Amino acid sequence: MKILKRIVFFISLFFIYIIIKEFLALYTYTKSLHPYAGYATLIIIAVFVIYFAGIPLFRLIVIPQYYSPIRNPEKIPSLIQIRMKRFQKNAFLIRSNLDFDTLTSDKNSYEKVIAFLKPEIERIRKKYVTQVFYGTAIAQNGFLDAVIILSSSINMMKEMFLLYRGRVTNRELFRIGRMVYYSIVIGGSEGVEYAVDEIVSKVFSGGLKGIPFASKILGSIADGFINAALLTRISMITENYCQFIFIESERALYPSYQTVISATRIVTSDLIERVLREVKRLAKSKTQDIISAVNPVRYIFEKAVGRHSDEDDIPYFYDELQIKTDAKIRNPLGFIGKWMRRRKTYPPV
């Protein structure tokens, strides 16, 4: 197992090289426009990372260490009692008018509280998974993908820990952080996009063969879906750390591949269907060549969420999706700036 971990680690270093190469390409592009534009790119990226990743990471670390499943079944009753007392001070549960008088410090009452928190956890997961799917699908830059995944992972974990009013131990946080690292290098390098592109094409393409820009759309869907699946896995592991009382081994904390893919499909299926429906509609129109020449990926995705819709009965995809942008993806600085201004924050619990 240690040898396998070392192999994976060394492979990740190659992916890091690809991400750095993407960053240098972005910097070279902006510097070619004007020397000061290159420096502005560095400053904007630094501010972006500090504001959307560095500060949330600090706020995550200072959350009290509280949640961690145990392996001694004899301590289950005492741990449940401690958590139930802590739940009584949970701001979200208080705002939701949960009647604690009907609950006791037993396993059934604990499961009722966990079930009560489940919809809010799903809301947090859907917000960030959708954000990563949409953002990385249209960014078309490995470095930007890595930044979006990093920021979304940290902020999502912070919101989940705040909801439970406590985080895992530093050791367990490091384990989750290692998964975030691998998600960044995989998503940022776009290495898996080519591996799943053919699968996604078979599943979703249908009658899209022959459409000039269909391959670009399907490639973006593949990229966004894999990144969304990686974030979904992180969210499920974080949730399990917070809600599990007893585990026999760490494997119980890690969801199966089928579970992760299924959950990701539920979150992204609506947008994917809208995108493919829009592609088929535009394929029949006379504007096909014009759209293909400009930027089909950005146009199609924004059209799918209703930004360019000419029909009144097409709603926006999700209310919490605030990263729709007017900036062309050929201008990465515009994309980053728009994404920073539009991004929503979550109120402390």
Q: What is the mean pLDDT of the chain?
A: 77
Q: Is 15's pLDDT higher than 60?
A: yes
Q: Which two tokens stand for residue 128?
A: 């960030």
Q: Is 241's pLDDT higher than 90?
A: yes
CA distances from 130 to 59, 227, 289, 332, 347 (A): 23, 10, 29, 20, 19
CA distances from 112 to 27, 174, 271, 292, 308 (A): 52, 30, 32, 52, 43
State pLDDT tens for residues 167-210: 999 989 998 988 888 787 776 555 555 445 544 555 444 555 55
CA dist 232 and 226 (Å) reads 10
pTM above 0.75, yes or no: yes
Residue 119: predicted pLDDT:
93
CA distances from 271 to 106, 221, 225, 282, 304 (A): 41, 10, 11, 16, 7
Q: Distance between the two ends of the chain, CA-based, in angstroms?
A: 40
Instruction: Write phi, then psi, for 32 (nearest 5 degrees).
Output: -70, -25
State pLDDT tens for residues 45-56: 889 889 988 999
More confident position, 68 or 152: 152
Residue 310: predicted pLDDT:
41
Q: Which two tokens stand for residue 34?
A: 């004007």
Q: Is 321's pLDDT higher than 60?
A: no
Residue 187: predicted pLDDT:
66
CA dist 11 and 186 (Å) reads 10
State pLDDT tens for residues 222-231: 888 888 999 9
In terms of Cα–Cα distance, which of 40, 11, 264, 48 is closest to 148?
48
Cβ 138 vs Cβ 220: under 8 Å: yes
CA dist 132 and 190 (Å) reads 14
How large is the average pLDDT for residues 290-310? 65
- pLDDT band (50, 70, 90) for residue 122: very high
Instruction: Write phi, then psi, for 65 (nearest 5 degrees).
Output: -75, 120
Residue 320: predicted pLDDT:
34
According to the per-residue pLDDT averaged within each range, which of 97-111, 148-162, 214-228 is highest? 148-162
Of the listed ranges 95-99, 163-167, 194-198, the least confidently predicted one is 194-198
CA dist 234 and 165 (Å) reads 19
> Cβ neighbours of residue 315 under 8 Å, at least 6 residues apart?
306
Domain extents in the chain:
2-342
**What residue type is assigned to position 188 of the chain?**
G
Cβ 235 vs Cβ 128: under 8 Å: yes
88-93: long-range contacts, CB 8 A cutoff, minimum separation 24: 89/165, 90/163, 90/164, 90/165, 90/349, 91/165, 91/349, 92/117, 92/120, 92/163, 92/349, 93/117
